[in-house]
């Protein structure tokens, strides 16, 4: 990445003219000057000359590696100078004089390495609820304004090798410098594809949420809209936590172990 | 020539003119790439760039301060096509406690084509796939790699030589990007420039 991306290289201003570049530009200008005597504008002739070169060379150019050769760079540099020399502004409705796109500051974001990908949780489990669509508001019945029970949740696309699932519902924004957990459930059987509303399947254990309650609660402050993230993690081995486990501690372990997750976003606002 | 023959001849002529006008209209529905008004004859590399382009899913917007793409454009049977070969992203962040640990455009090159819809020209990009790895101790999707996938349609404005992506252009072109099961709102304004044989020439689609 030391030299930047191909796009970056293209955006960099033309380098100072080399001897060969100047010579090429000079020769081209003289040739164009002569041909310009025969009628038509010099600029038009430049364009057609460039087109004919392009017709033969550009296919090969596009097939080459991203980094242009020194000869290509010189050719382009010369072509740019020729255009400016013959007044290319006349042919460009915008009167272009050099690139207008700036090279971005800083380095491009790093790409995900194979190791990072292997250690991350790929969000490829489809988690949904018939009670709401992802991104929509949660009906009041599933909040403290209603029955404060969880909605039915369904999932598909379980990866092979899953031993069990763990489910967390969290506020998108932390509270008092900590992730706010509304619900944490572990020990969900690998053969499950859903959880019914208000009814936990056998073997499931619930952790203590950030309200200090062993259970579920969606209850934002009055007049405050809150966004919630439901995250279902597939685990390759069972964690066996006890009822009332520390939700944040378990989440750390789950993130370390899990390789696949299902996500669903919802929101709720108390009027 | 009697009146009937004259009338038939004139009607035939009128019909022929109408048909040719109709066919001309159809052929102009697929725009081509042009430089300084001249139809592009061979492939050309152009670069598009945007500042502060944002991808929004409910509850979280991922913004990249700068966003480049390299696209090799050409005309095939008079219709503009393209192939996006590179997409470096710069200074990406979110409006939550999540950070962008890494971001990867996948399955490049992405195919693109030009299309005219209600007199406006659009670039339709297909097969888009971008993986984003989020991080951050206070991030609810810490350690999650989310995939952005789908198609995107941007309006090509010949006067500014730019492509604009917005919910309106997605709706007009019937394109959609999704991430985490949600439709992603992508906003970006991309001025474009040629960097090979048509450097410094005005790019347009018509």
If asked whether residues B78 and B166 sit together in one domain, one would say yes
If asked whether residues B3 and B37 sit together in one domain, one would say no
Among B184, B183, B201, CA closest to B193: B201
Residue B147: domain span: 31-205
Taking an 8 Å cut-off on Cβ atoms, the answer to whether B180 and A134 are in contact is yes
pLDDT tens across the length of chain A (271 residues): 344 667 776 666 543 333 333 333 333 333 333 333 333 333 333 333 333 333 333 333 333 333 444 544 544 443 333 233 223 333 444 455 444 677 788 889 999 999 999 999 989 999 999 999 877 899 999 999 999 999 999 999 999 999 999 999 999 999 999 999 999 999 999 999 999 999 999 999 999 999 999 999 999 988 888 999 999 999 999 999 999 999 999 999 999 999 999 999 999 998 7
Q: What is the ipTM of this complex?
A: 0.76
If asked whether residues B4 and B39 sit together in one domain, one would say no
Enumerate the domain spans of chain A. 6-90, 114-269
Kindly list the distances between the CA atom of residue A149 and the CA atoms of A170, A216, A218, A246, B99, in Å, as whole numbers in the listed order: 15, 7, 8, 20, 32
3-class DSSP string for chain A: CCCCCHHHHHHCCCCCCCHHHHHHHHHHHHHHHHHHHCCCCHHHHHHHHHHHHHHHHHHHHHHCCCCCCHHHHHHHHHHHHHHHHCCHHHCCCCCCCCCCCCCCCCCECCCCCHHHHHHCEEEEEEEEECCECCCCECCHHHCCCCCCCCCCEEEECCCCCCCEEEEEEEECCCECCECCEEEEEEEEECCCCEECCCCCCCCCEECECCCCCECCCCCCCCCCEEEEEEEEEEECCCCCCCCCCEHHHHHHHHHHHCCEEEEEEEEEECC
Average pLDDT over residues B163-170: 94
If asked whether residues B23 and B73 sit together in one domain, one would say no
**Total-model pTM:** 0.73
Q: Nearest 5°: phi and psi at A140?
A: -60, -30
Tokens encoding A11:
């955006």
Q: What is the pLDDT of residue B190?
A: 86
Q: Which residue, chain included where needed, has tokens 């350690």?
A: B143
CA torsion sign for A94, B39, A48, B198 is positive
Q: Is the peptide bond before B109 cis (omega within 30 degrees of 0)?
A: yes
Taking an 8 Å cut-off on Cβ atoms, the answer to whether B47 and A7 are in contact is yes
Taking an 8 Å cut-off on Cβ atoms, the answer to whether B91 and A93 are in contact is no
If asked whether residues B19 and B43 sit together in one domain, one would say no
If asked whether residues B65 and B5 sit together in one domain, one would say no
Contacts of B59 in chain A (CB under 8 A): 135, 172, 227, 229, 265, 267
Among B87, B95, B181, B202, which would you mutate to test the A interface (most chain A Cβ atoms within 10 Å of its Cβ)?
Answer: B181
Q: What is the pLDDT of residue B176?
A: 96
Which of A107-121, A251-265, B27-41, B66-80 has the weakest average pLDDT?
Answer: B27-41
| pLDDT of B66 above 60 | yes
CATH number for A114-269 (one of 3.40.50.970, 3.40.50.720, 3.90.280.10, 3.30.420.40): it is 3.90.280.10
Taking an 8 Å cut-off on Cβ atoms, the answer to whether A80 and B66 are in contact is no
Contacts of B180 in chain A (CB under 8 A): 123, 134, 263-265
If asked whether residues B22 and B54 sit together in one domain, one would say no
If asked whether residues B99 and B162 sit together in one domain, one would say yes
Which of A54-58, A222-226, B65-69, B85-89 has the weakest average pLDDT?
Answer: A54-58
If asked whether residues B5 and B49 sit together in one domain, one would say no
- Is the minimum CB–CB distance between A267 and chain B shorter than 8 Å? yes
Pick from A104, A128, A174: CB nearest B68: A104
If asked whether residues B104 and B199 sit together in one domain, one would say yes
If asked whether residues B11 and B66 sit together in one domain, one would say no
Q: What is the pLDDT of residue B11?
A: 61
A residues 190-229 lying closer than 8 A (beta carbon) to B: 227, 229
Give the count of domains, chain B.
Answer: 2
If asked whether residues B10 and B70 sit together in one domain, one would say no
């Amino acid at each position: 990445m030391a030299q930047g991306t191909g796009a970056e290289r293209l955006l960099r201003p033309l380098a100072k003219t080399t001897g060969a570049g100047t010579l090429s530009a000079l020769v081209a200008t003289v040739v164009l000057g002569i041909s310009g005597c025969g009628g038509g504008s010099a600029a038009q002739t430049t364009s057609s000359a460039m087109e004919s070169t392009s017709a033969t060379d550009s296919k090969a150019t596009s097939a080459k590696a991203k980094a242009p050769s020194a000869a290509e760079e010189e050719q382009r540099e010369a072509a740019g100078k020729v255009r400016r020399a013959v007044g290319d502004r006349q042919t460009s409705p915008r009167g272009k004089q050099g690139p207008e796109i700036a090279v971005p500051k800083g380095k491009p974001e790093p790409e995900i390495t194979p190791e990072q990908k292997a250690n991350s949780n790929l969000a490829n489990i489809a988690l949904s609820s018939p009670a709401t669509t992802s991104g929509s508001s949660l009906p009041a019945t599933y909040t403290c304004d209603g029955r404060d029970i969880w909605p039915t949740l369904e999932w598909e696309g379980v990866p092979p090798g899953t031993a069990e699932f763990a489910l967390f519902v969290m506020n998108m924004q932390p509270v008092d410098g900590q992730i706010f957990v509304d619900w944490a459930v572990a020990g969900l059987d690998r053969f499950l594809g859903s959880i019914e509303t208000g009814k936990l399947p056998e073997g499931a254990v619930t952790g203590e949420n950030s309200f200090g309650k062993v259970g579920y609660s969606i209850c934002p402050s009055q007049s405050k809209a809150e966004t919630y993230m439901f995250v279902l993690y597939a685990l390759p081995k069972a964690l066996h936590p006890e009822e009332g486990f520390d939700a944040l501690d378990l989440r750390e372990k789950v993130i370390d172990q899990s390789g696949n997750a299902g996500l669903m976003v919802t929101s709720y606002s108390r009027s | 020539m009697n009146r009937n023959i004259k009338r038939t001849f004139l009607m035939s002529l009128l019909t022929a003119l109408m048909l040719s006008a109709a066919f001309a209209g159809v052929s102009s529905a697929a725009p081509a790439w042009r430089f300084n008004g001249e139809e592009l004859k061979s492939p050309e590399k152009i670069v598009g760039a945007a500042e502060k382009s944002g991808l929004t899913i409910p509850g979280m917007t991922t913004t990249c301060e700068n966003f480049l793409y390299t696209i090799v454009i050409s005309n095939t049977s008079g219709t503009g096509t393209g192939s996006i070969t590179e997409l470096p992203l710069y200074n990406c962040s979110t409006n939550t406690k999540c950070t962008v640990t890494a971001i990867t455009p996948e399955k490049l090159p992405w195919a693109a084509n030009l299309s005219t819809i209600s007199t406006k020209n659009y670039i339709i990009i297909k097969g888009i796939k971008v993986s984003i790895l989020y991080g951050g101790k206070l991030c609810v999707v810490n350690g999650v790699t989310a995939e952005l996938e789908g198609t995107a349609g941007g309006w090509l404005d010949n006067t500014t030589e730019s492509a604009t992506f917005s919910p309106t252009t997605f709706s007009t072109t019937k394109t959609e990007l999704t991430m985490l099961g949600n439709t992603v709102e992508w906003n970006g304004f991309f001025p474009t420039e040629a960097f090979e044989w048509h450097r410094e020439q005005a790019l347009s689609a018509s």
